[in-house]
Structure 1
Amino acid sequence: MRLLRGTYKRSLETINRHFNDVLTAIQYLSAEFVKLPDPSVQPPDDYKWKWFGNALGALDGCHVDVCVVVADQGRYRNRKQQITTNMIGVVDWNMKFVYVLPGWEGLAFDSRVLLDAMTRQDAFVVPQGKYYTVDAGYTNGPEFLAPFRSTRYHLKEWVSSQQQPKIPKELYNLRHSRARNVVERTFGLWKKK
């Protein structure tokens, strides 16, 4: 250890070793302290979720700014030309993360990241008969409930027009958007911190 401009410097090997020791201890204790949500629990008594009886929460992708070497920036440049990593986040009704898979390049599509999450050794698994609400970037299926395409969906579209739904697909999309908004709010709070 040597003093340099008033700060202590340690070798990377020492930091790496101590970090791994702490991480191993946390993993050892995780079974005692980390409790995943019970999928048999009923959703909260909330008007947003009453239309989605077997839903466990919502799932979405999120772009997070990163610094990468210049040679890799092409893969991490998203559609808005920012250097990001694409992560998938799954939250329950109470805005608690249930599953997170970070690290994908910024130009990776959300559906590709989800496919990877479901095929890993520590795979994201949806219990039988349950599902998560997702946006139109994902495929509708038994485990994922997406909105109708080509029909008004986002909450700001409803607020700005001040109109009520006129057809059943619009009513469904409005209810779906209100429920799935839990993942957007969770990401927003996470990014603020």
Structure 2
Amino acid sequence: MEIDPIIVSTLLIEDEENEIPQREKRIWVHSINLKRQWFGEYYSLYPDLLKDDKRFFKYFHMTPLKFRQLLGMLEPHITRQNTRYRMAIGPEERLVVCLRFLTTGNSFTSLADNYRLGETTVREIVYSTCEAIWAFIQPIVMPTPNENLWLSSEAQFRERWNFPNAVGALDGKHILIEAPQHSGSNYFCYKKHFSIVLLALVDANKKFIAVDVGAFGKNSDARIFQNSNMGQSLREGNFNMPPPKPLPDGNNLPHVIVGDEAFPLCTYLMRPYSRDDVKGNEEKKIFNYRLSRARNTVENAFGLLVRKFRLFEHKLHMSRDHTVTIILAICALHNFLREDICYWSKNDHVRLSDMRGIKNMRGARGNIRTTALAVRNTFKDYFCSEVGSVEWQRRRVREGKLH
């Protein structure tokens, strides 16, 4: 049986008309970025930095050894799969880009040009790498505090800062941000900027024990502390704090955290006497001096933080959630790098007060419980006793020096 060629042609035409056209995936990369493997900083500069520890430190604010350790811990979590359309950016390059953003505060646009990557790609690298840092580095370098950790911290405060029963120093900073959309005045702080709050508890070695990030900048600082996870855990006795123990003079006192006037006086939180209280009272001035000396650990921790991570030189231009993620990652990195070798030069010195993106908290006011006053007065009496005094304290107080 012969098949009519006209019928065959008609059937073929109908099949072609019934076919659903397949849309081809368009891949477009800017001509500048096509030269990434020749001129991008990861390929043109990074290999040479690995040969010089000091230059590497100047670029990343960490040594090559710590970088390798960090990469080894993060590599399984920041590796991406190749696709049929493009090669994935490797974990080492992703970490390089992220760290460069954190240590310089350069804009995403500037980093995209330097590394010959798309701006959206740079954003994704920074956000996802910071998420991995907090998720996988924080449990190692900032574990949930237990009684042994508190006791170890107390020993350091007692030996190095002459403040027995102190287990940590507390402070908070306003991190300046762009006003989030539809947020009203929630993030508008007393500094006349929009901000979120970084609340940090630090040990005697200037490492973060715990941090709380993200509170509204408009809230009073006492309220921020009371509503934070840290404040609630301390208030409810769920922070694994050790039981009270005697001072060297025999007085039994609770373990305490030291803070400044931004925080309320509690049995577990010591703050200085007010200016009116210390007028004409040398013993109270001595207490303030001793507390200030111990509390300087947290101020120094913030100073080290902004020295390594110049991101805080500027107001942060990103969503609130991404801002929180990045700040948490920086706190974890601070602990990870605390024992690293440093190659700072004189020009690398920065003052916390010069950082435009980070501001102090305000003093707190309110009722003070009698028991908290009694605890503070007992510490005062101990610091002024023969057993608890240090030889230089009266001279420092009379010279008008706080620390």
Q: TM-score, normalised by structure 2?
A: 0.37
Distance 1:74 1:167 in 2: 43
Match of 1:157 in 2: none
CA displacement at 1:65 relative to structure 2: 1.4
Instruction: Please list the CA deviations of residues 20-68 of structure 1 after superposition, one character each: whole Å capped at 9, or x if unmatched.
Output: 9x73x9746765x33646112212532xx21x21111200111111123
Match of 2:204 in 1: 93
1:86·1:108 contact (CA, 8 Å) conserved in 2? no
Q: Distance in 2 between matches of 1:114 and 1:83?
A: 18
Calculate the aligned-residue CA RMSD, in Å: 3.3
What does residue 257 of structure 2 align with?
A: 132
Change beyond 3 A, Cα 1:64–1:72: same
Which residue type is aligned with residue 128 of structure 2? F
Q: Quick one: distance in 1 between partners of 2:136 and 2:206?
A: 26
Structure 2: gaps (5+ residues):
1-26, 34-115, 245-254, 310-403
Size of the aligned set, in residue pairs, is 171
Mapped contact 1:86–1:107 kept (Cα < 8 A) = no
Is 2:175 the counterpart of 1:149?
A: no
Match of 1:34 among 132, 141, 148: 141
- Letter of the aligned partner of 1:125 in structure 2? F
2:190 to 59, 69, 79: 79
Q: 1:187 to 1:73 in 2, by over 3 A?
A: farther
Q: Structure 1 residues 136, 11: CA separation in 2 closer, same or farther (over 3 Å shift)?
A: closer
Q: 1:2 to 1:113 in 2, by over 3 A?
A: farther
Question: Following TM superposition, by how much is the alpha carbon of 1:92 offset from its aligned partner in structure 2, in angstroms?
Answer: 0.6
Q: Which has the higher strand share?
A: 1
Equivalents in 2 of 1:188, 1:34: separation in Å? 19
Alignment equivalent of 1:43, drawn from 140, 151, 156: 156
User: What's 1:162 paired with?
Assistant: none
In structure 2, the CA distance between the partners of 1:28 and 1:186, relative to structure 1 (3 Å rule), is: closer
Counterpart CA distance in 2 for 1:19 and 1:124 is 32
Residue 73 (structure 1) shift: 5.6
2:290 partner SS: helix
Kindly indicate whether the alpha-carbon contact (under 8 Å) linking 1:136 and 1:147 is maintained by their aligned counterparts in 2: yes
Please say if 1:104 is aligned against 2:211: no
The farther-off stretch of 166-175 and 95-104 is 166-175
1:173 to 2:288 alignment? yes
| Pair 1:179–1:152, CA change in 2 (3 A) | farther
SS in 1 for 2:174: strand
Give the TM-score normalised by the residue count of structure 1. 0.71
Question: Which has the greater radius of gyration?
Answer: 2
Residues 1:3 and 2:40 aligned together: no
| Between structures 1 and 2, the one with greater helix share | 2
Q: CA–CA distance in 2 between the matches of 1:185 and 1:39? A: 20
Percent of aligned pairs with the same amino acid:
23
Give the whole-Å Cα distance in 1 for the aligned partners of 2:288 and 2:137.
42
